[in-house]
Structure 1
Amino acid sequence: MTTLLEVNDLRVTYPGRGLRARPHEVLHSVSLTVGQGETLGVVGESGSGKTTIGRSVLGLVAPSAGTVRFQGHDITHAGRKRRRALARDIQVVFQDPHSSLNPALTIGDILSEPLIVQGAAASEARTRVTELLDQVGLPKDASQRLPREFSGGQRQRVAIARALAPAPRLIVCDEPVSALDLTTQARVLDLLIDIQRRTGVAYLFISHDLAVIRHISHRVSVIHRGDIVETGPAGDITTSPEHPYTQKLLLAAPVANPAEQRRRRAARQLLRP
């Protein structure tokens, strides 16, 4: 498999919050790769640094060390003009569909905006919007409606359509289903899988939920306190992990059987990551 994204020895440091507070390093020499058409799941608890990886790839955070390479080119410190060009190939779906869409714009305007910015004619953008709505399973008349007229799951479909608009090679998915109920989560995940099969787009999929990661990922990297502690095929990592921290994540997932839940809780308390 050809490597699309390569992150090597990435370090990110945030300044301290107080006047005399020391800088805080949130990523420690993180390395990972994403192949063409592949989904790499990055899983970890809140504050583990997983979202910072995605923000570094998108250029929203400046690394203090290490490199980010896309299609073999170093984009670690790409300037504004270069980032604008990269937007054709690297897109993002954020966590909250309520806040990620402009409430004052129609769905048609939201989807056509990135196309027009990239130089598409208005007629070409309208045609592409119709294709995108069909691709994510929304009716054609959705283009004339406002985000508030849709459910959370439908709004996330709009966000996915917006990310797909320029036909990217990679989409960074930052907790894209965590704000949705379980039934809607499953539908959105299946939609992402179907889109990947049809378009060949790759995903860097960030989540705290091991069950979600298992459902969508080909490979999984587990991050704990800024370090990648385990990487491997999704089936192996999510069923028989080797690292104690991953084992704790697996045991923390709720199950319907109360007796099994008690056993898992007791086993989790014995582990020390």
Structure 2
Amino acid sequence: MSAPLLDVQNLVTEFPRRGWRKPPVRVLKSINLDVKAGETVGLVGESGSGKTTIGRAVLGLAPVTGGKIVFDGQDISHLKPAARRAVSKDIQVVFQDPYTSLNPAMTIADILAEPLVVQGMTGAKARARVAGLLERVQLPADAAARLPREFSGGQRQRVAIARALAMEPKLIVCDEPVSALDLSTQARVLDLFLEIQEQTGVAYLFISHDLAVVRHLSHRVCVLYHGDVVEFGEAGQVTDDPSHPYTRRLLMASPVADPARQRQRRADRHALVAAAGE
């Protein structure tokens, strides 16, 4: 069996507290997970569960206090800036709010061409690549000359996806990339993620609080609770027949259209919370 593309081994992340001699806050407690090439692993949990911190640690934006992160056979846990920049070509990110992650003063063409030019691509080749990226994310060619504010939220997220694809990465960390979008736009953007994966073979580490979203996209699902992995397995098994009470509670928290079923799910969830003593 081939080694995974991303292998997170006993990852511990701590942040310092304010105040003299106060012990650090341990956000991640010995996390183990992996992502294979071309695979989507969904990270799901409530706010404060540590899922975003895992993504930030993979990107080099959160400290690795213990354990290690191995990407494509290389330990990237404590890279120096120059080595991190080299790895960033293969690890890209799509953030939750596309507007704040796009420079409002730059045209879409400049935003997409910037990482290409930094890597040494000539202007003519960069422009041709930008046109191809816009086509891949299903935006019109004239979008290149426009500013981010001229687009809807869903269109801006497509621009952010195009920017992540510009360097032809092996892995994209997707940090709640559809949570700020309306339901119909969510569905279209999720379908775009699937289509891009089929075309390019890119792997996703997909972070979300919504099990329904994760189920739609993921091959495997990792459930986090208070900095611990409580369940990790095939998406169908975890989302249809979860073994851990916390995963069942997450599943019951997802709304359904039938009011009677929704009332029953709410009652079942309250019963699980009471049984857990929370």
Q: TM-score range by the shorter chain?
A: over 0.9
| Bigger Cα displacement from structure 2, 1-10 vs 161-170 | 1-10
Deviation at 1:18, TM superposition (A): 4.0
Deviations 1:187-221 (CA, angstroms, capped at 9, x unpaired): 00000000000000000000000010000000000
Letter in 2 for 1:39: T
Distance in 2 (CA, whole Å) between partners of 1:205 and 1:82 is 24
Deviation at 1:17, TM superposition (A): 3.4
Deviations 1:59-83 (CA, angstroms, capped at 9, x unpaired): 0111110000001110000111111
Q: Secondary structure at the match of 2:101?
A: coil
Unaligned segments of structure 2, at least 5 residues: none
Deviation at 1:21, TM superposition (A): 3.8
Distance in 1 (CA, whole Å) between partners of 2:155 and 2:177 is 12
Distance in 1 (CA, whole Å) between partners of 2:56 and 2:18 is 20
Aligned residues: 273
Q: Secondary structure at the match of 1:28?
A: strand
Distance in 2 (CA, whole Å) between partners of 1:221 and 1:18 is 34
| Bigger Cα displacement from structure 2, 107-116 vs 117-126 | 117-126
Q: Secondary structure at the match of 1:9?
A: strand
Q: Secondary structure at the match of 2:186?
A: helix
What is the 5 A alignment of 1:99-138?
A: 99-138=100-139
Distance in 2 (CA, whole Å) between partners of 1:75 and 1:256 is 45
Distance in 2 (CA, whole Å) between partners of 1:196 and 1:115 is 21
Q: Secondary structure at the match of 1:238?
A: helix
Q: Secondary structure at the match of 2:204?
A: strand
Question: What is the RMSD computed on CA atoms of the aligned residues?
Answer: 1.0
Q: Secondary structure at the match of 1:53?
A: helix
Deviation at 1:20, TM superposition (A): 5.3
Letter in 2 for 1:161: A
Deviation at 1:118, TM superposition (A): 1.0
Task: Report the counterpart of residue 224 of structure 2 in structure 1.
Answer: 223
Distance in 2 (CA, whole Å) between partners of 1:269 and 1:17 is 36
Distance in 1 (CA, whole Å) between partners of 2:36 and 2:200 is 14
Task: Report the counterpart of residue 159 of structure 1 in structure 2.
Answer: 160
Distance in 2 (CA, whole Å) between partners of 1:239 and 1:225 is 22
Letter in 1 for 2:195: D
TM-score w.r.t. the length of structure 2 is: 0.96
TM-score w.r.t. the length of structure 1 is: 0.98
Deviations 1:77-117 (CA, angstroms, capped at 9, x unpaired): 01111111111100000000111100000000000001111
Unaligned segments of structure 1, at least 5 residues: none
**Residue identity (%):** 64
Letter in 1 for 2:75: D
2:75 is equivalent to residue 74 of structure 1: yes
2:163 is equivalent to residue 185 of structure 1: no
| Bigger Cα displacement from structure 2, 9-18 vs 129-138 | 9-18
Distance in 2 (CA, whole Å) between partners of 1:199 and 1:50 is 25
Task: Report the counterpart of residue 208 of structure 1 in structure 2.
Answer: 209
What is the 5 A alignment of 1:9-158?
A: 9-19=10-20, 21-158=22-159
Q: Secondary structure at the match of 2:240?
A: coil
Distance in 2 (CA, whole Å) between partners of 1:155 and 1:17 is 37
Task: Report the counterpart of residue 8 of structure 2 in structure 1.
Answer: 7
Runs (4+) off by over 3 Å: 17-21
2:261 is equivalent to residue 260 of structure 1: yes
